[in-house]
Amino acid sequence: MKIKNCLSPFVVLALTFNLTATHIQKTPDISELDITPKKIDQLGITNPDKLSAASKRALMWPDDLSSEWFFEYNVYDLKGDLAYEEGVVRRDPSALIKHSGKYYVWYTKSVGPRDGFGGDISKEKVFPWDRSDIWYATSKDGLTWEEQGLAVPRGEPGAYDDRSVFTTEIMEWEGKYYLCYQVVGGDYVVRVKNEVGLAWADSPDGPWTKSKEPILSPADNGIWKGEEQNRFIVEKKGDFDSHKVHDPCIIPYKGKFYLFYKGEQMGEEITWGGREIRHGVAIADNPKGPYVKSEYNPISNSGHEICVWPYNGGIASLITTDGPEKNTVQWSLDGINFEIMSVVKGAPHAIGINRTIDPEEEPLAALRWGLTHQYMNPDYQYIRGFKTRRIIRHVAAGAPGTK
Ligand code: AAL
């Protein structure tokens, strides 16, 4: 793997981004281009003296456009207790780990339909992930699963996590297990702040001890406008994570613990890439914290659920769903400055990454297979499996020399 020469096709391009009323991405001037016969041939340009805007942008790409970071995928149903169950929500699977010959996964579980924000919020369930707890299941083959029961319940009334605990990730470190997860306390009104909690155990089967306080909270620098429960109306938006910190995932990295998360901003808008969603990182010396947000946040300009893995001394990140850089795989040498390595057709949602595969085998080894979730309908989601494949060359069905 030639990381040095593997400058992403979009790094240079990103430098030319310039938001104006007339165009989103500035096309380079001909004087900025390094036009070689090899590049002209590779890009299939008809006449180098007559370059379209698209060809000028393509000429900013590096020579190495290899496919090792590109993948396609398919999803499939699981068997046993993780097969779809009427009236039950199971979603946002954690990473997979293996213990005593069995795969383990943790996930959000709730029952009954969601009612939205129109009714009596103190009694109803506003989202499928409201009034949820964290459950877990095990499997010998990754296909047929046995639900083992509750791992981390909501807190007692009055606790910071008394309304819902959900969207969890597992970290195994020095024989101990850490689950980080989203929490909501009090009424789940539209403007409620979402925080991150942590629980730890000596065994993946628990018992789990919860942190007394959240380990991560939203930035406290946005200002709501008026009293109406409307998250889009603000005096000031504040940082990218001024409303919610979501999808936490802790990775041991360079002797520290990197907590990657998704931020939601007060006064979030729809822009040229869709929702304004970005990722941040908070770093600690110990698994239990304290976690200090990086001054370089946000570390993505797009994305949704966190899906990160260590690779080649750095961290790789799958960016999906929201923002102009959605559907890209990115990599950084420092866990902070990410570059685009590939653009994919799409990706499984809310990936539970497979931590039982050595991620160093190849850039996308960690994504070879794992878990995802799917919406059966707006009320009910269920956990499914996914597999990815690398596409190395074109194959014409039935042509000589191909199978
Ligand atoms: C997901 C995640 C978080 C949100 C909700 C449940 O896509 O980003 O987990 O809170 O939706």
Q: Which domain holds residue 48?
A: 12-59
Q: Which of 311, 359, 372, 305 is nearest to 339 (CA)?
A: 311
List residues near ligand 1 (CB under 6 A): 92, 129, 166-167, 182, 246-247, 262, 304-305, 350
Residue of the CA atom closest to atom 8 of ligand 1:
305
The CB-based long-range contact list for 8-11 (8 Å cut-off, 24+ gap) reads 8/62, 8/330, 8/331, 8/339, 8/340, 8/341, 9/61, 9/62, 9/65, 9/340, 10/61, 10/325, 10/328, 10/339, 10/340, 10/343, 11/62, 11/339, 11/340
Mean pLDDT over all residues of the chain? Answer: 93
Residue 205 located in a structural domain? yes
Residue 286 located in a structural domain? yes
- Residues 196 and 344 grouped into a single domain: yes
pTM of the shown model: 0.93
- Residues 21 and 146 grouped into a single domain: no
Q: Ligand 1 test: best mutation among 90, 91, 92, 304, most atoms within 8 Å of CB?
A: 92
Residue 28 located in a structural domain? yes
Read off the pLDDT of residues 259-274 as tens digits, 9 standing for 90 and up. 999 999 999 999 999 9
Given a cut of 60, whether residue 22 has pLDDT beyond it is no
pLDDT for 307: 98
Tell me how far the alpha carbon of residue 62 lies from the centroid of ligand 1, in angstroms. 36
- Residues 51 and 100 grouped into a single domain: no
pLDDT for 24: 64
Give the confidence band of 403 by pLDDT, cuts at 50, 70, 90. low
Residue 312 located in a structural domain? yes
- Residues 102 and 251 grouped into a single domain: yes
Residue 7 located in a structural domain? no
Residue of the CA atom closest to atom 9 of ligand 1:
167
pLDDT for 394: 86
pLDDT for 356: 98
Which range, of 18-27, 116-125, 143-152, 261-270, averages the lowest pLDDT? Answer: 18-27
Tell me how far the alpha carbon of residue 247 lies from the centroid of ligand 1, in angstroms. 7
Residue of the CA atom closest to atom 1 of ligand 1:
305
Which ligand 1 atom is at minimum distance from the Cα of 244?
Answer: 10
Residues 6 or more apart whose Cβ sits within 8 Å of residue 338: 299, 300, 315, 317, 330, 331, 332
Domain tally, the chain: 2
